[in-house]
Amino acid sequence: MAGMGKVIVANAERVGVVNPKLCVAVAEAESSLGISPRARQYKDPYGMTGANIVFPSFEAATIFWFDNMKKHTSWAPWQTGYDIQHEPPYCATTIEEYAKNVTIIVNRI
């Protein structure tokens, strides 16, 4: 994901409702920022390949991720911190563990 900062910020501004820190935090939690073999294979650092989506680039996956987040406003609490009353967009372990992990990453950024 090196060099993706401008793409992330531009898309955060474009959709207007998604914290760009959350985008980076999800990519870190899901794929170590695009380093995992699955992320490289599917060009998907966000863990969206459960539906076997193959993106042409990390940029295309980032645009899709932001558009998907904008569609699901119930995920908005996850932009700023842990809120167990709402489900996060992705859940690799338990909702609680995932939310705490992503929140720690967001706060670190």
Which tens digits make up the pLDDT trace of 19-40?
Answer: 899 899 989 988 899 999 989 9
Is pTM beyond 0.85? Reply is no
**Is the per-residue pLDDT at 44 higher than 70?**
yes
pLDDT of residue 81: 44
Specify the CATH number for the domain of residue 75. Answer: 1.10.530
When divided into structural domains, the chain yields a total of 1
- Distance CA(49)–CA(103), nearest Å, equals 22
pLDDT one-digit tens code per residue, 53-71: 889 999 999 999 898 888 8
What residue numbers bound the domain in which 91 lies? 5-108
pLDDT one-digit tens code per residue, 67-101: 888 887 666 555 544 444 455 555 556 667 777 78
Q: Can you tell me whether residue 24 is helix, strand or coil?
A: helix
For helices 20-31 and 5-15, the axis angle rounded to 10 degrees is 130
